[in-house]
């Protein structure tokens, strides 16, 4: 399964068609070490090539985000649900 990363695409990001990318791959790799490069197929950006360091940075962000989700305990969720139910019951009683 692929992880999706949201990369803010600058309006000035260099974009190459898949045919150009095939013909200029070495050049694109050199550019991507400095800034992300978009690859378009039929006029639509389908991939972004970026430096390994940038990729690792995005992976770290994703891992931290995932760890935050995994640290929520079932007890915390139950407490939140019960608090919400209690609020709704109070609204019904006061109506």
15-17 and 44-49 beta bridge pairing: unpaired
pLDDT at 1: 40
pLDDT at 19: 96
Select the CATH number that applies to the domain covering 10-50 from these four: 3.30.360.10, 3.40.1620.10, 3.30.365.10, 3.40.50.300. Answer: 3.40.1620.10
The answer to whether the predicted template modeling score (pTM) of the entire model surpasses 0.95 is: no
* Top-confidence residue, 2 or 28: 28
Q: What is the DSSP letter of 79?
A: H
Q: Write the pLDDT tens digit of every residue in 4-58.
A: 444 555 457 899 999 999 999 999 999 999 999 999 999 999 999 999 999 999 8
pLDDT at 62: 85
- Provide the residue ranges of all domains of the chain, joining segments of one domain with +: 10-50, 53-95
Ranges of H-type helices in 1-95: 18-23, 25-32, 52-70, 74-94
């Amino acid at each position: 399964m692929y992880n999706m990363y949201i990369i803010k695409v600058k309006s000035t990001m260099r974009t190459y068609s898949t045919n150009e990318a095939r013909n200029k791959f070495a050049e694109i790799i050199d550019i991507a070490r400095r800034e992300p490069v978009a690859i378009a197929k039929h006029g639509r950006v389908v991939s972004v090539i970026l430096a390994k360091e940038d990729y690792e940075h995005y992976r770290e962000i994703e891992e931290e985000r995932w760890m935050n989700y995994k640290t929520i305990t079932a007890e915390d969720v139950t407490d939140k649900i019960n608090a919400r139910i209690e609020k709704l019951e109070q609204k019904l009683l006061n109506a």
